[in-house]
Amino acid sequence: MKKTLFAAAFLAMLCGCAKDIPELHVVPAPQSVEMKGGSLDVRGINFNCDPAMDSASAGAVRGFAEELSRLCGRTCTVGEGKGVAFVVDASMAPEAYSVRIGRKDAEVRASGFGGFFYALQTIRQMLPVASGAQCKLPCCEISDAPRFGYRGLMLDCCRHFFSVEEVKKVLDVMSVYKLNRLHWHLSEDQGWRIQIDKYPRLTEVGAWRNGTMVRGDWKSNDGIRYGGFYTKDQIRDVIEYAAARGITIVPEIDLPGHMQAALASYPELGCKGSKPQPYEVWTVWGVSKQVLNVGNEKTMRFLEDVLGEVADLFPGEYIHIGGDECPRDEWKADPQCQAKIRELGLKDSDGVSAEARLQNYVTARMQKFLASKGKKIIGWDEILEGELAPGATVMSWRGTKGGIKAAGMGYDVIMAPTTYCYLDYIQSSDLEHEPFSITHNWATPETVGDAAVTLEKLYGFDPLAEIPEEARGHILGMQCNLWTEYIATPEHLEYMLFPRVLALSEDAWCQPSVKDPERFRRSLESYQLPLLDKMGVNYRKLDK
Ligand code: ACM
């Protein structure tokens, strides 16, 4: 009895102490956190960078010192002396970091920019959202590293166009949540968005459409000319802005389907007898049957020229070449495509049509061309149909089965299944009150519950579920996709992105043992949503 009482008193004492130690509300939650009690006052503190530190990391520390000075109302210094020491530790993995905060000083360790930048994001989230509040860091030891190397977000800037400023705002928020790839969807049936010097009509003609269908009514057209594109200088600016935030841009030129805007610009690249004529930049949503004539050598040169300029512009290792939803009806009727099929000896076999094999040929040729430029390809999971050359990375969107199969075959995979990762899908079951979304086109009050991609559902996604142990190394990571057919304004874009992107962040960064939906929700309520408010970000309020 005495023993039980003692144990109860001891437990009560422990709980009492735990109450005084604040819970960290950092998202994504770090891999390991040991709270120590006590705090470090960081008003006017000094930041001391290791002489071995690279200039990008030193720049990030200087930027952070300025932010902290504004936040706490006292100037922080960067130089010799005590305070927060930044130590280069070459033994650490590229994005890993550790933070030790004591009552008198602190130490941050990383091997380079990725780790130092993420350590700063974590420390920022341990400080108050608003300026003027207490500027103290809780004493603790943190050791952190991401579960996956690829933590991505796809923005469709074709169905609707978003300004450089809006793209940068999204990059700002991505960097807070340690996402490191922006997949930038730049070509579509409904609009071509990237300047290509050799083919000026792509942006003179292909970037503009004569109106847009209204909501889900395929017969309607609002009659308003719509468009826009990014110049190469603007793109260079975005690339640099992203890099300073640890983000690499993966550009997508979607081929050989989803090319109607290019066909409106250069009709000679189309199939014989393609209808309707003349080609127009598409004004409705869906999958256009008007596709590139890949039996024409001129078309292949066009693709290589375009991808060549894209490869020269973007420094990252990957170029996304799309490959999804390419109807092959026109190839069946086109004499040049059929001649190419005969020349290559392609046959219907093993349930794969000769036309599907023609697409394999296009994929392989672009892959080889891009390899000559030092780039690797990513394609949507349709590129698995038929034959796929080694070295391609498969983005699994039609569920996870494509990704599971591809990983089993030895291809690298990025998981982005519609069921969990499509941020254009409705966020709740409330068809009446949620803004019109793609889900509204097919869901009923009975089915919308399953169709919705709620915050909680996305939080429950594990990219490695059902992946056999031996294939797990091929799962590079995951991505959420935001298609923008029904999203025309920055406010709506942000509403669809946030706070779901925070769930993506924990899915992609945290080990399953660290994830906890209740702690995640508390973090959002107590800190992250106010932080989004401070950043001027529109987001969907949490359900009660
Ligand atoms: C896709 O959603 N069509 C990749």
What is 188-238 written as a DSSP string? ETTEE-B--TT-THHHHTTTEEE---BTTBTT-----EEE--B-HHHHHHH
Tell me 36's DSSP state. E
The finding on whether 325 has its CB within 6 A of some atom of ligand 1 is yes
pLDDT of residue 69: 95
Instruction: Please give the distance, rounded to the nearest whole angstrom, from the Cα atom of residue 323 to the centre of ligand 1.
Output: 9
pLDDT at res. 20: 56
Cβ 324 under 6 angstroms from ligand 1:
yes
Predicted pLDDT of residue 8:
43
SS3 content of the chain, % helix, strand, coil (to 5): 40, 20, 40
Residue with tokens 């705090």: 39
CA 482 – ligand 1 centroid, Å:
10
C-beta separation of 476 from 412 below 8 A: yes
Sign of CA dihedral 286, 290, 296, 297: negative
Residue 270 DSSP one-character state = B
Q: Find the length of the chain.
A: 544
In the block, which residue shows the tokens 């932010």?
A: 67
**In the prediction, which pLDDT does 131 show?**
75
Q: How far is the CA of 396 from the centre of ligand 1 (A)?
A: 9
Q: Quick one: 514 exposed, middle or buried, by C-beta within 10 A (0-12, 13-18, 19+)? A: middle
**Residues 6+ positions from 25 with CB-CB distance below 8 Å:** 125, 522, 523, 526, 527, 528
Q: Phi first, then psi: what are they for 379, rounded to 5°?
A: -140, 155
The confidence score (pLDDT) of residue 21 equals 64
- The residue nearest atom 3 of ligand 1, judged by CA position, is 324
Q: Which residue has the tokens 């530190």?
A: 53
Contact 380 CB / ligand 1 (< 6 Å):
yes
Q: How far apart are CA 506 and CA 503, in angstroms?
A: 5
Q: State residue 2's pLDDT score.
A: 45
Distance 397 CA to ligand 1 centre (A): 7
Nearest to 191 by CA among 212, 207, 213: 207
The Cα 266–Cα 213 span in angstroms is: 24
pTM: 0.95
Protein residue with least CA distance to atom 2, ligand 1: 397
CA–CA separation, 220 and 152 (whole Å): 34
H-run or E-run covering 86: strand 84-88
Instruction: Establish whether residue 285 lines the binding site of ligand 1, counting it when its CB lies within 6 angstroms of any ligand atom.
Output: no
Across 305-420, the runs of DSSP E, i.e. the strands, are 318-322, 376-380, 393-396, 412-415
387-412 tens-digit pLDDT: 999 999 999 999 999 999 999 999 99
What is the Cα–Cα distance from 447 to 461, expressed in whole angstroms? 20
Q: How far is CA 14 from the centre of its chain?
A: 42
Backbone angles phi, psi at 47, to 5 degrees: -110, 125
The tokens describing 6, both together, are 């003692």
CA distance 118 to 144: 9
Residue 235 phi, psi (nearest 5): -65, -40
- Please give the pLDDT value at position 216: 83
Please answer whether residues 287 and 221 qualify as being in contact, where contact means their C-beta atoms are separated by less than 8 angstroms.
no
461 C-alpha vs ligand 1 centroid, how far in Å?
A: 19
Closest CA to 230 of 184, 294, 182: 184
pLDDT value for 15: 38
Kindly state the tokens that stand for 168: 């940068």
Query: Hey, which of 325, 394, 479 would you mutate to test ligand 1's pocket, going by the most ligand atoms within 8 Å of its Cβ?
Result: 325
- Output the CA torsion sign for 17, 19, 25, 31: positive
Q: Parallel, antiparallel, or unpaired for β 191-192 and 187-188? A: antiparallel
- The rounded distance, in Å, linking the Cα atoms of 539 and 498 is 5
Q: Is 425 in the pocket of ligand 1 (CB under 6 A)?
A: no
Q: Which atom of ligand 1 is nearest to the CA of 483?
A: 2
Atom of ligand 1 nearest to the CA of 325: 3
d(CA 322, CA 185) in angstroms, rounded, equals 9
pLDDT of residue 14: 40
Residues of the chain with pLDDT under 50: 1-19
Question: Which mutation among 252, 285, 380 tests ligand 1's pocket best, with the greatest number of atoms within 8 A of CB?
Answer: 380
Alpha-carbon torsion angle 435, 440, 444, 446, nearest 10: -50
